[in-house]
Structure 1
Amino acid sequence: MPSAAERTRTLVQSTCSAVLLVPGVEAARPDQLSPEARAVGPDGEVFLLFPADSPVVRAATHAQDDELAAVLEITDVAPVAVPNRIRGRAWVSGWLTCAPGLATEPGCMMLRLEVGEASIDDLWGASGVEAEEFARAPVDPLVAHETELLQHLHSAHPDQVQALAGLLGDRGKGAVASGRRAVPLALDRFGLRVRFTGEQPFDTRFDFPEPVRDITGLRRAMHTLFEAAAH
């Protein structure tokens, strides 16, 4: 399974929605707290792009040499329609400063969040993450494609996803008999997570034979998975 640090780092570098929580600007509108772009630097710091006149930029500018605490909160929502759609949240806390000269877009300012600690609460469970772990963690190679891939599986291959119930033995037979619908919920280099809907929905993981490194490897892994379910 992916480590808590890898899962957190992947969410930070995904397209999931995020807000930057800074003391003193709680009254700002949610859209004013959402960075227009974000990236992780070579030392694990998080760079956040905001309009130069945004409340968080003003707060960071006024703080100057003082340590301004801030928390980046990321919410991960499944890209397909499914009950209980929020897949998890991550929090990255640290100290915020302005990084003049890094923003290439006119009228914007880049902010630098020096990470102190992080935590995640997702489909795998809840865990804390040290700053050093976050800085070293790899990003899941499928993160840029996961939304498109899950939506494709859901719309173009629902029967094959449903057939994965055959790999679950009696529990899978019961799921099919009760009319539960299989929805692809999450995808990473280790495997596919499917949610079987119904009165008492449940999730199950289908692990790949080995971690995939790219889309080509994913195609082979998914073919193997569907072949196994078909026999």
Structure 2
Amino acid sequence: MGGGHTWTAVPGAAQRARTVLALAWSCAATAQGGREELTGAHTVTADGRVLLRPPEDSALGAAALCAPRGELPAVLEFADPAPVPVRDRVRARLWLAGRLTRTGDHLEFRPRRVVLRQASGSVVVDPDEFAAAVPDPLAPAEGRLLTHLADAHPDAVRRLTRLVAPDALHGAVRVRPLAVDRHGLTLRIERAWAHGDVRLPFHTPADDVTQLSERMRALLAQAGAASCPRALQRQRADGDG
């Protein structure tokens, strides 16, 4: 990749895990050998505890109520799907192992083991670092921003490929925006039978949407000064991934 970037940081594992947790609308809970899918039934506290309000007929709720010492060992799983349709849409999975306790009208889950799996592999996150981390500040707006970039500005996505090394674009049939955070933009490069991701780091982190707009303009300006890659065969602005 060209362009003379000096900032190459990526989100730390603890922050990435907290971001996945903050954005997840559903989760899968496994306890006593059973697995239950819960949608819109959880909230997250500032220190990373998960508060569950399962439906009245939930087997999980009944098991927690009857658990010895009022604690039920459980594993919660969360997925992070890309906002834009792409091949292999789940960008990350997060597993939290811990114990459920009943507190008032909800179940409280405190993680004791945290595992984050991304395309680069799985990593165990220290529970204290997980509790202290905060989600990426751009996370609440990421879906809207990426969808707008993909649908309304495919020309800008094409221009950004000028910052990608030609080898990474060899055989590409489509390039889509996969993720954005305060440190950079990630593109998904799809080939006929495979795909890969390329990260375009910002020169400095962005803490809000206004700063993100400036960072994106800087990337596009660098792309405009770069030579157009020959390896990109075609780029489709639509499609269902």
* TM-score, normalisation: structure 1: 0.85
Map residues 1-231 of structure 1 onto 2, 5 A cutoff: 1-26=10-35, 30=36, 33-63=37-67, 65-100=69-104, 109-171=105-167, 175=170, 178=171, 180-199=173-192, 200-231=194-225
Distance in structure 2 (CA, Å) of the matches to 1:180 and 1:53: 48
Kept in 2, the 8 Å contact 1:2–1:190? The answer is: yes
Q: Report the CA distance between 1:124 and its aligned residue.
A: 4.1
Q: Name the aligned partner's letter for residue 188 of structure 1.
A: D
Kept in 1, the 8 Å contact 2:70–2:101? The answer is: no
Distance in structure 2 (CA, Å) of the matches to 1:126 and 1:24: 24
Distance in structure 2 (CA, Å) of the matches to 1:179 and 1:10: 30
Aligned length: 215
Distance in structure 2 (CA, Å) of the matches to 1:179 and 1:68: 49
More divergent stretch after superposition (49-58 vs 185-194): 49-58
Kept in 2, the 8 Å contact 1:162–1:181? The answer is: no
Distance in structure 1 (CA, Å) of the matches to 2:219 and 2:197: 17
Structure 2: gaps (5+ residues)? 1-9, 226-241
The 3 A distance-change label for structure 1 pair 68 and 141 is same
SS at match of 1:81: coil
Q: Report the CA distance between 1:4 and its aligned residue.
A: 1.1
Kept in 2, the 8 Å contact 1:78–1:85? The answer is: yes
Kept in 1, the 8 Å contact 2:18–2:134? The answer is: yes
Q: Over aligned residues, Cα RMSD in angstroms?
A: 1.9
The corresponding residue for 2:3 is none
Q: Name the aligned partner's letter for residue 222 of structure 2.
A: A
Q: Report the CA distance between 1:87 and its aligned residue.
A: 1.1
Q: Name the aligned partner's letter for residue 178 of structure 2.
A: L
Q: Report the CA distance between 1:169 and its aligned residue.
A: 4.0
SS at match of 2:140: coil
* TM-score, normalisation: structure 2: 0.82
Kept in 2, the 8 Å contact 1:60–1:98? The answer is: yes
Distance in structure 1 (CA, Å) of the matches to 2:74 and 2:201: 37
Distance in structure 2 (CA, Å) of the matches to 1:146 and 1:59: 37
Q: Report the CA distance between 1:15 and its aligned residue.
A: 3.0
Q: Report the CA distance between 1:99 and its aligned residue.
A: 1.6
Q: Report the CA distance between 1:64 and its aligned residue.
A: 5.5
Distance in structure 1 (CA, Å) of the matches to 2:188 and 2:219: 16
Kept in 2, the 8 Å contact 1:36–1:48? The answer is: no
Distance in structure 1 (CA, Å) of the matches to 2:33 and 2:66: 12
The Cα offsets for residues 169-216 of structure 1, whole Å up to 9 and x where unpaired, read as: 4336x54xx553210011111111001111242210000111111111
Higher relative contact order (CA 8 A, sep 6+): 2
